[in-house]
Amino acid sequence: MTSPDKDNPATSAFFADLMASIMGGTMIPKVQIERIVGPILGFFLPQLLSEMWKQTIVMMSPEFPIRKARLDAESGLVQHDNQSTNIDWLMFNHTTNELLLVELKTTDTTYRAQQSEVYRNVQKAIEQRQSSGFLVEELRAIQQASQESGKYRNVHVLLARALGVAEDQVLPRLGQCAAARIVYIAPRISKPADWVEDSRNPWLSFSDLPNQLMEHPHGAFWPILRQELVALDTLSRRERNGLSAITDSGRNYEGLLRGRDELLAHCRLHGSAIVVGWMNWRANLPTLTSAQFDARTYKWDWVVNGKGAKLEKNWIAGDVLLQHLK
């Protein structure tokens, strides 16, 4: 069988038409674009991240299983079966000797804090144990209990291949891996205001991904895929429902403040004349960490002649906020 010629205009036209057809599913109920686009993006993903970060990153396995029993135990629950949840892509950074737990979202409504917490629990367990070897042990436990043990056996083969070791060396090799990075690839519009972003937990919108892939053998097709994905960065539920993007008449705030410094400066300047959007602030403000405080984007509005309706519990006066932060 001959491979399609990437330099053939007809081949590029086919891929462009294919992607346009796939992305048309964003306007069809029950069509899960993530499941369709995921394998295509995954095909480019190791090279994408390698070129972005100038590091050597390889794919270990898509849909890597995480044993629920350990996650439930960490939450205070008791569970003794081998049911699993899955990471969209498990990857390995050979340059930094760390795992990448990569999650894909394609709409503004599918991010779930509970799912993010699963990843953070895995990240925390790796750091506390100073080892990722338990992931291999759990994979074996799931394999032994599964009627599709051959598929889990194949995942183990993929891990060995990605690490460049014999199969019996996967466990000791991952035992030397003591760190993990959580990477979300998702529409910019879906990024939660309280997402704590740092080098360990980057959020990549589709427009953050590089325009070109120089080293991938099929990099000529990447700009076509990226162009379709970037359109998701601003596609909101309002637009899918035939409504315009939020305008001044449809929002309840005057502007946005990015991070601690902008917020404090604005509160010091205007004090009680402004309010700051803070969901259930009486309960949540005391528990906010310094990193979360720095990473957030804050809505603000004028007390007099402000925009739209507001729930008092979700808005705090500028001077009151300053008092709480002393």
Whether 285 shows a pLDDT value over 50: the answer reads yes
User: Residues of the chain with pLDDT > 90: what percent?
Assistant: 52
What pTM, to 2 d.p., does this model score? 0.72
pLDDT of residue 8: 66
Q: Tokens for 176?
A: 């030397």
pLDDT in tens, 189-245: 888 887 877 888 999 999 999 999 988 999 999 999 998 998 888 887 877 776 644
What is the distance between the alpha carbons of residues 310 and 322, in angstroms, rounded to a whole number?
A: 20
Phi and psi at residue 126, to the nearest 5° = -60, -45
Distance CA 276, CA 262 (A): 12
State how beta strands 84-93 and 98-104 pair: antiparallel
Q: How far is CA 185 from the centre of its chain?
A: 5
* pLDDT higher at 187 or 291: 187
The residue among 118, 127, 64, 129 whose CA lies nearest residue 91 is 64
For 134, the token pair is 């338990």
Query: Is the CB of residue 84 less than 8 Å from the CB of residue 68?
Result: yes
Q: At residue 305, does pLDDT exceed 70?
A: yes
pLDDT at 76: 47
Element at 304 (helix H, strand E): none
Residue spans of alpha helices (H) in 107-148? 113-129, 133-145
Torsion from C-alpha of 215, 98, 192, 48, nearest 10 degrees = 0
Burial call 61-90: b when 16+ CB within 10 Å, e when fewer: bbebbbbbbbbeeeeeeeeeebebeebbbb
Quote the CA–CA distance of 150 and 155 in Å, as a whole number: 9
Helix then strand then coil, in percent of the chain rounded to 5, is: 50, 15, 30
Question: Between 326 and 127, where is the model more confident?
Answer: 127
Q: What is the pLDDT of residue 185?
A: 97
Where residue 6 falls among pLDDT bands split at 50, 70, 90?
low
Gyration radius from the chain CA atoms: 23
For residue 210, the SS3 value is: coil
- Write the DSSP symbol of residue 299: E
